[in-house]
Structure 1
Amino acid sequence: MNSENIVKHLRALWRTDRIIAEIRMRPMLVGLGLRAFAALIAAFGLLMLELSAYFALVQIWSAVSAAAILGLANFAIAAVLFVVGGRPPAGRELELATEIHGSAIEALQGEARALQSQFTGMVHHPLNSALPLVLVPLITIIVKSLKKSRATAPAAKATAEPN
């Protein structure tokens, strides 16, 4: 387990999530903008067409049937605009970002498994993990004390011999 790998995988995961969100949001925003603009233009154009069609149809049919025909035409035009504006985004960018996202998740899961096995090994056998941490300083202290005792033994001998 390496904390640098975890940070690297988390950074990749964050970036790919951001890219995926951007890829999905861009067409939605463009589609929404196009729908709003189309609705605005259609409203003005439709108003003029309806007015002229109404005056033309009133001469042929009654006012009620002319208004009903124009209302149905408005619904048909609105349905076509929403179908065109609501197409789902398709592209290689989204597939690639989703694939990288999946690999980052798998790598994070692998790191988490390694951390879990290391932790369970430490819990089940605490001396195995604590022994190297305690043993190295203990050996250093023993070596230093042996060096001091060897250095003090000849000095003690030298002071004891002149008597």
Structure 2
Amino acid sequence: MNSENVVKHLRALWRTDRIIAEIRMRHMLVGLGLRAFAALIAAFGLLMLELSAYFALVQIWSAISAAAILGTANFVIAAILFVAGGRPPAGRELDLATEIHGSAVEALQGEARALQSQFTGMVQHPLNSVLPLVLVPLITIIVRTLRKSRATAPAPTPAADPS
């Protein structure tokens, strides 16, 4: 496991989350603005249209049927505006940010698996991780001891000839 890779993947994850949130926030604000504008138009513009349509329909039909027709038309127009304001965000930016986000999450999962396998190997076989650390100094101590014992050992004296 490389800590630099983990940091790099976490930065990518953070940046893509921020980009995704920003794109969604922009879309939500645009949708809210469209709905507010639709409400403003509905309040002022349709009032005038309804008033003129009402006067025109009253001459043909009764006042009750003229008001019912105009109310139905208002509901249809409002539904069209709300559908237009609530459509899902589409764009390459969001798709790209989502793809980068997914790859960063996968890379972090890979790093976590590598760390888990290292930790599992160390826990299952603790001597495998400790042995290289202990073995080198132990061999060095043994070699030094053997050298010292050879250097301090008395040299053999030649035996005297009994003749």
* Fold shared by both chains (TM-score > 0.5): yes
Q: CA deviation at 1:90?
A: 1.6
* Corresponding position of 1:101: 101
* Corresponding position of 1:88: 88
Could you tell me how far apart the structure 2 residues matched to 1:105 and 1:7 are?
A: 12
User: Which blocks of at least 5 consecutive residues in structure 1 are unaligned?
Assistant: 150-163
* Corresponding position of 1:13: 13
Q: How does 1:50-129 map to 2 (within 5 A)?
A: 50-129=50-129
Letter of the 2:32 counterpart: L
Q: CA deviation at 1:46?
A: 0.9
Which structure has the greater CA radius of gyration?
2
TM-score for the superposition, normalised by structure 2: 0.79
Letter of the 2:98 counterpart: T
Q: CA separation of 1:131/1:69 partners in 2, compared to 1, >3 Å: closer, same or farther?
A: same
Richer in helix (by share): 1
Could you report, residue by residue, the CA deviation over 1:27-61 in whole angstroms, capped at 9, with x for unpaired residues?
Answer: 22101111111211221111122122222222221
SS at match of 1:114: helix
SS at match of 2:112: helix
Could you tell me how far apart the structure 1 residues matched to 2:120 and 2:63 are?
A: 83
Q: CA deviation at 1:115?
A: 0.5
Q: CA separation of 1:147/1:25 partners in 2, compared to 1, >3 Å: closer, same or farther?
A: farther
Q: CA separation of 1:58/1:134 partners in 2, compared to 1, >3 Å: closer, same or farther?
A: same
* Corresponding position of 1:155: none
Q: CA deviation at 1:136?
A: 5.5
* Corresponding position of 1:153: none
Aligned residues: 153
Could you report, residue by residue, the CA deviation over 1:75-115 in whole angstroms, capped at 9, with x for unpaired residues?
Answer: 11112212222222221111211111111111111101110
Query: 110-119 or 29-38: which moved more?
Result: 29-38
TM-score for the superposition, normalised by structure 1: 0.79
